[in-house]
Amino acid sequence: MEDNYPIKRIIDDQGYLVDTGFEKQIDEQLVQDLYYHMLRIRTFDRKAINLQRQGRLGTYAPFEGQEAAQVGSALALKTGDWVFPTYRDHGATITFGKSMARTFLYWNGRVEGCVAPQDRNIFPPAVPIATQLPHAAGAAWAEQRRGTQNAAIAYFGDGATSEGDFHEGLNFASVFKVPVVFFNQNNRYAISVPIEKQMNSETIAQKSVAYGIPGVRIDGNDCFAVYFETKKAFDNARAGNGPTLIEAVTWRKGAHTTADDPSKYRPEKQGEDIVDPLARLELFMKNYGYWNAEWIQATKDKTSSEVDAAVEEMEKYPPPNLEDVFNHVYAEMPAQLVEQKESYLAHLGRR
């Protein structure tokens, strides 16, 4: 079955085109957009880890190594589309337009961190595994019934394909031919469980057969393959042909979260042979005349300044209203929570 779903690539590990059919579709603007956003979210990611280690941020889920998958797919979106992320897809949501400062706030446990810009349809990150897939199918169905050209994308990891929500989301989307792209980032581990121990299927893409929808397997570290295949899936969805399942085979360099120790379950040198997605794009730029040292340095300076400004904005936010822990959850607060809230307010001298 794996032979039926070969990994599609446009550039190889050395940055050379292996599918020349896309050569005319790649221009300087696309190359620079991909590079800028990939560098920007990597800078964000590394800063977030440092902030967590300094006690300035809560537990954090890093994504370094998955920049091509997240940026390439997010750049294929249109402004009115819907994004349903997991807790690790903040690179995609930032690329789509979410504020970096608010994303930092999310990782500090602030409700403000779930607020998207008014002109972007970005759901709060889904921490329960796969619950966002039926939501994405539902939003896409709503857009279909409204007669718009808006579509949805649902991000999820390989472990999510073992959840019932995966079946429910894909089955519903298939039956009603709704405009949604199911974008799997196959990092080969469901937390500490390797993929071969959580499914017998040789690929995730082949699971599309059960739902009668297209399934494609791509090199998730090839930003061009991600961008063009995701764009193709969106074009197909907007044309009324229903959903697509994309399996982006990638590799996350770091831990599951900053509270995790991957050395407990991953072999020491595993992944060392995988070419970094940003480094691969840099090789492409040098091979095909897109490399501009001055622009690269200016982009590094710009992204660094943007991230620093976001940290400053995050840390200037007023202290959280701790009553939010109790409010806005129940229509009628249970007696136990009423007692706890009263005790808390008394401790603050407000009762």
Statement to judge: residues 305 and 277 lie in one domain: yes
Statement to judge: residues 308 and 350 lie in one domain: no
User: 90 is written with which tokens?
Assistant: 């903040």
Alpha carbons 1 and 305: distance in angstroms, whole number: 47
What are the tens digits of pLDDT across the range 227-244? Answer: 999 999 999 999 999 999
Which of 98-102, 184-188, 344-348 is least confident? Answer: 344-348
Statement to judge: residues 348 and 256 lie in one domain: no
Statement to judge: residues 192 and 336 lie in one domain: no
Q: Among all residues, which ones are annotated catalytic? A: 252, 256, 265
Statement to judge: residues 144 and 64 lie in one domain: yes
Q: Three-state SS for 260?
A: coil
Give yes or no for residue 351 having a pLDDT over 70: no
Statement to judge: residues 334 and 278 lie in one domain: no
Query: How distant is the alpha carbon of residue 189 from its chain centre?
Result: 16
Number of compact structural domains in the chain: 2
Number of Cβ atoms within 10 Å of the Cβ of 273: 8
- pLDDT (0 to 100) of residue 245: 98
Statement to judge: residues 240 and 327 lie in one domain: no
Statement to judge: residues 229 and 330 lie in one domain: no
For 227, residues 6+ apart whose C-beta sits below 8 A from its C-beta are 30, 34, 72, 73, 75, 76
CATH of the domain at 139: 3.40.50.970
Domain with 109, as residue range(s), is 2-319
- How is 13-48 classified by DSSP, letter by letter? TTS-BS-GGGGGG--HHHHHHHHHHHHHHHHHHHHH
Statement to judge: residues 49 and 129 lie in one domain: yes
Statement to judge: residues 98 and 139 lie in one domain: yes
Give yes or no for residue 311 having a pLDDT over 90: yes
Statement to judge: residues 45 and 160 lie in one domain: yes
Statement to judge: residues 303 and 326 lie in one domain: no
What are the tens digits of pLDDT across the range 117-174? Answer: 999 999 999 999 999 999 999 999 999 999 999 999 999 999 999 999 999 999 999 9
pTM of the model: 0.95
- pLDDT (0 to 100) of residue 163: 97
